[in-house]
A and B are shown apart, each in its own frame.
Chain A
Amino acid sequence: MALQAKNLEVTYRTADGRSVPALTDINLDIADREFVTIIGPSGCGKSTLLKCFGGLLSPSSGEVSVNSEAVTEPDPNRAAFVFQDYTLLPWKNVLDNAAVGLHFDGKSKDECRAKGQEMLELVGLSEFAKQYPRELSGGMQQRVAVARAMAMDPDILLMDEPFGALDEQTRQKLGSEMGRILTETERSVVMVTHSLDEAVFWADRIIVLSARPGRIAKEIEVKAPRPRSLSFIGTDEFAMIRSELFRLLEVPSAMAGASSTDAAAGQ
């Protein structure tokens, strides 16, 4: 079991002192090498959940553990983040950005360079090592961000809408390529997304969150073996799961129905 969340709950306190539940009753086990996508209506707490998984945010109650170790603060060797925005450091070149986690960890310059270069090769950007982030397109910058996370050799990769800021074409191209990379590295991945296609295309399992407060409304398994080629998008399995996701996310009563039937089944 790579990651486990038990009775996770996050409550925000507003300026006027009221407490607002953002996430409630999250129980989740993520297996080694499993690729899990999290999807849900905006504001349902997807990113909050991911931050809890990585120790960037402490849950109000419940706990998260990675390989049976409780997560209390960020540890990039355990779970490394790929963020949505462009978060490369603009004053460091691509190679130094890819190795920045190792640099923070106090690794020697040579070690950083070697590992950084290796990771850039993995994401196909080794010839851009000496460039600065501003000289790269958005898609390339996100690939460097993936390299930065992978350089830490994490047990789990936590991706928060990593391709959300990219246009559709770039996203698809990047998607199939990243699929290969992430599958080859044999890591557990949790990816938050708002794209139905992405959610289905990548996942071994899709977690659907309900609207605020976010709770797990439904878990859907995707059986097709990974890595998948783009032709997977044309299959019946893809179409059926996608239409179910669409129904859950776009029809409010469907989500309510999903929660209540799950609750009924649990009893």
Chain B
Amino acid sequence: MHRWVLLAVVIGLLVVWEVVSRLEWVNPMFISRPSDIVAALPDVFGDEKAVDALETTGTSIWWAVVYAVIAGIIGGYLLGSIQILRDAFFGPVNFIIGIPKSIFIPIFLLVFGINTQAAIYYGAFSGIFYVMINVVSGLDLVEDRHMMVARAYSASWWHRVRDIVLPASLPGVFAGIWYGIKNGLQGVLIFELFISVGGLGSLIKTYTNRLEIDRVFVVVLGVSIVAIVLGELWSAIERRLSRWRPSATASADTAT
């Protein structure tokens, strides 16, 4: 039922868009229309530049996310488990999360120059703090009673980390990775939009400047699909790895 309502809304919006554009209530030059966008699909996918851009952006996002996630998880665990680091850096990290990260783009340009590497580092920078902060809240999920069991049963440092701290904080790590993917992807695209270093962001700018709005929407659609697929893939992995959690599956009904 829910699914049909959703589908109806989406179709309804597409129809409204088409109508508004066709009746020229809004200038079609600016908003294009669904039928034109569909018609532009083969153009974009036939465009060698577009295929190149997809590859560039895909690779950049991949590395941005990898850097953000690895550095963020390590940083998060250090921040979460060493009190003095937490006191010193938790505030600044929260501060950076609170401000728009795009104000740092000029600095990235200055340091790394106009190239795709700069986009990767900026993407990593956009994601890393979200990863860290979620890992820290994951560490707060470690329960004293489980640590007491570890002590009572003389678990070594390694066993405490491996068998208690890591699994207990996993929900936070998962959330962190997800935010790392989301913000890393966003960072790379924003950088490409601002600075013409190639990739889908720059392609959107080029198409917009040439008033090929239908093509712009094809790219936007493509990016959305990539983001959705990534999201679904990730939640599938998360579900698999957190079977033990009450929220993961709904079959907690065994009697005495």
* Chain A interface residues toward B at CB < 8 A: 54, 56, 73-76, 80-81, 83, 85, 87, 89-92, 100-101, 103-105, 131-137, 139-140, 148, 152, 170
Q: B10-18, B173-181, B247-255: which lies at the A interface?
A: B247-255
The 3 closest A-B pairs by CB, nearest first: A91-B167, A104-B155, A101-B153
Question: Is B95 part of the binding interface, using a Cβ–Cβ cutoff of 8 Å?
Answer: no
Bound Cα distance from A139 to B256, whole angstroms: 7
Given A87-B148, A134-B244, does the pair A103, B154 have CB atoms closer than 8 Å?
no
**Is A91 a contact of B149 with CB atoms below 8 Å?**
no
Question: Is B20 part of the binding interface, using a Cβ–Cβ cutoff of 8 Å?
Answer: no
Bound Cα distance from A188 to B163, whole angstroms: 30
**Is B148 a contact of A137 with CB atoms below 8 Å?**
no
**Is A85 a contact of B145 with CB atoms below 8 Å?**
yes
Within 8 A of A (CB), among B119-162: 145-146, 148-156, 159
**Is B254 a contact of A136 with CB atoms below 8 Å?**
yes
Give the number of A-B contacts (CB < 8 Å).
76
**Is B256 a contact of A170 with CB atoms below 8 Å?**
yes
**Is B164 a contact of A87 with CB atoms below 8 Å?**
no
Task: Pick the contact of B146: A76, A89, A140, A170 (CB < 8 A).
Answer: A89
Given A56-B148, A85-B145, A87-B146, does the pair A100, B245 have CB atoms closer than 8 Å?
no
**Is A74 a contact of B149 with CB atoms below 8 Å?**
no
Q: How many residues of B contact A (CB 8 A)?
A: 26
Question: Is B210 part of the binding interface, using a Cβ–Cβ cutoff of 8 Å?
Answer: no
**Is B167 a contact of A83 with CB atoms below 8 Å?**
no
A190 to chain B, nearest CB (A): 14
**Is A74 a contact of B256 with CB atoms below 8 Å?**
no
Chain B residues with CB below 8 A from A92, complex form: 163, 244
Task: Pick the contact of A83: B148, B154, B254 (CB < 8 A).
Answer: B148
Within 8 A of A (CB), among B213-256: 243-246, 251-252, 254-256
**Is A135 a contact of B251 with CB atoms below 8 Å?**
yes
Given contacts A73-B154, A104-B153, 19 further A-B contacts (CB under 8 A): A56-B152, A74-B152, A76-B153, A76-B154, A80-B152, A81-B149, A87-B148, A89-B146, A91-B245, A100-B153, A104-B156, A104-B163, A133-B244, A134-B244, A134-B246, A135-B251, A137-B254, A139-B256, A170-B256
Interface centre among A105, A133, A148 (most CB of B within 10 A): A105
Bound Cα distance from A94 to B122, whole angstroms: 46
Task: Pick the contact of A90: B152, B159, B244, B256 (CB < 8 A).
Answer: B244
A218 to chain B, nearest CB (A): 29
Interface centre among B146, B152, B155, B159 (most CB of A within 10 A): B152
**Is A76 a contact of B152 with CB atoms below 8 Å?**
yes
Chain A residues with CB below 8 A from B164, complex form: 89
